[in-house]
């Protein structure tokens, strides 16, 4: 099966690419990692003006989806967000929109604000004993805690505030434990599971874009870095490594768009594990071929290198995704 975007979807991707290139996202990422959310909120508003968040919100709540989110268009958008290393709880905000659509009183309050880019929402999964953290809770306007299925309620709206900052492999992914207490909410049956699936799906798209950015920067570097009088990109071993990296990413792409068409949990898990592993492989290739310069904070490459592994593990580690594929 061939998955080809139509002209409108390709134009949407190109417009996001141009807007994010002009926004100088590396400087935005560095400010976000330092706790300065101003440039990130400004970029968030531009994404909202481009319609990114409205894609996740039904028309009844001032979005553009006829009855719910538009998965193919959101996949297109999140590949670009990954390609440009956009910081913030973008995945969690869209997944929260899916979740809150099942709770009418909260939907009326939150979804129009999400569509307009006025509300950042983070989520923490209380069933994940090792990592019940909310991404960027210090910048979020609301934090949703997904409760275990045994709980009488499906989620908890955490009170304002958060615990201390938890160390992260990516400084721009700022992790906090949500505070106890807050309002417990019952949502439509299956809504929490759907929100987890959407988070995994969008993280897969981000990972694919991240891997593509790492490969592009590495190809550019090996063309200009010389050794023994020749560009290192002309060496056969380097070509093979880059070809393997490209192959991994290209295998992930149809799985992502296949999942967008079905939104079946097994398809999403397959896309998540494949895109995550491909992005992580791209990071290892980039680091090896850049050599010691790849470690430096000053090189923008480090901003993408640090994202690859957290994106591989967020909202479904590889072993968990493989188990879901086998169970499907």
- The pLDDT, as a whole number, for residue 290 is 95
Q: Please report how many Cα atoms fall inside a 13 Å half-sphere around the Cα of residue 80, on the Cβ side.
A: 21
> The pTM is what?
0.95
Rounded CA-CA distance 233/144 in Å is 47
Q: What is the DSSP letter of 84?
A: T
Percent helix, strand, coil in the chain, to 5, is 60, 10, 30
**What Cα–Cα distance (Å) separates residue 238 from each residue in 282, 291, 292, 293, 327?**
13, 13, 16, 17, 38
Per the CB < 8 A criterion, the answer to whether 121 and 104 are in contact is no
Is 34 in a helix, a strand, or coil? Answer: coil
Q: What is the 3-state secondary structure (H, E, C) of 232-297?
A: HHHCHHHHHHHHHHHHHHHHHHHHHHHHHHHCCHHHHHHHHHHHHHHHHHHHHHHHHHHHHHHHCC
Specify burial of residue 263 (Cβ count, 10 A radius: 0-12, 13-18, 19+): middle
Place of tokens 């069933």: 127
Per the CB < 8 A criterion, the answer to whether 22 and 14 are in contact is no
Rounded CA-CA distance 291/280 in Å is 17
- The pLDDT, as a whole number, for residue 130 is 63
Is 162 in a helix, a strand, or coil? Answer: coil
Start-to-end C-alpha separation, the chain = 20
- The pLDDT, as a whole number, for residue 150 is 62
CA triplet 162, 27, 203: central angle to 5 degrees?
Answer: 60
The DSSP string of 172-225 is: TS-EEPPPS--EEE---TTHHHHHHHHHHHHHHHHHHHHHHHHHHHHHHHHHH-
Q: Which candidate, 132, 134, 114, places its Cα nearest to that of 123?
A: 134
Rounded CA-CA distance 46/31 in Å is 17
Task: Tell me the pLDDT of the chain (328 aa) as tens digits.
Answer: 667 899 999 999 999 999 999 999 999 999 999 999 999 999 999 999 999 999 999 999 999 988 789 999 999 999 999 999 999 999 999 999 999 988 888 999 999 999 999 999 999 988 776 668 999 999 999 999 998 766 667 888 999 999 999 989 999 999 999 999 898 888 887 888 899 999 999 999 999 999 999 999 999 999 999 999 999 999 999 999 999 999 999 999 999 999 999 999 999 999 999 999 999 999 999 999 998 888 798 999 999 999 999 999 999 999 999 999 999 8
């Amino acid at each position: 099966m061939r998955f080809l975007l139509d002209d409108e979807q390709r134009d949407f991707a190109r417009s996001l690419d141009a807007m994010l290139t002009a926004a100088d996202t590396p400087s935005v990422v560095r400010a976000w990692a330092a706790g300065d959310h101003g440039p990130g909120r400004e970029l968030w508003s531009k994404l909202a003006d481009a319609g990114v968040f409205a894609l996740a919100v039904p028309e009844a709540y001032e979005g553009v989806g006829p009855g719910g989110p538009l998965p193919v268009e959101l996949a297109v958008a999140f590949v670009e967000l990954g390609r440009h290393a956009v910081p913030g709880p973008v995945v969690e905000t869209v997944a929260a929109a899916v979740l809150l659509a099942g709770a009418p009183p909260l939907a009326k309050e939150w979804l129009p604000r999400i569509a307009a880019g006025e509300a950042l929402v983070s989520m923490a999964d209380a069933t994940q004993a090792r990592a019940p953290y909310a991404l960027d809770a210090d910048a979020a306007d609301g934090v949703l805690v997904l409760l275990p299925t045994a709980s009488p309620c499906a989620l908890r709206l955490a009170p304002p505030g958060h615990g201390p900052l938890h160390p992260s492999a990516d400084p721009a992914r700022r992790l906090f434990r949500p505070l106890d207490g807050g309002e417990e909410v019952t949502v439509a049956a299956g809504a929490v599971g759907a929100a987890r699936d959407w988070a995994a799906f969008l993280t897969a798209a981000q990972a694919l874009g991240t891997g593509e950015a790492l490969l592009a920067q590495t190809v550019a570097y090996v063309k200009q870095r010389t050794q023994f009088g020749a560009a290192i990109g002309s060496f056969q071993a380097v070509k093979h490594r880059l070809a393997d990296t490209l192959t991994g990413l290209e295998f992930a792409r149809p799985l992502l768009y296949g999942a967008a068409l079905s939104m079946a949990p097994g398809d999403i898990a397959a896309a998540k594990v494949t895109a995550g592993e491909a992005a992580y492989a791209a990071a290892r290739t980039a680091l090896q071929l850049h050599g010691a310069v790849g470690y430096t904070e000053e090189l923008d490459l480090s901003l993408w290198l640090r994202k690859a592994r957290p994106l591989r593990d967020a909202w479904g580690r590889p072993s968990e995704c493989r188990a879901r594929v086998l169970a499907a």
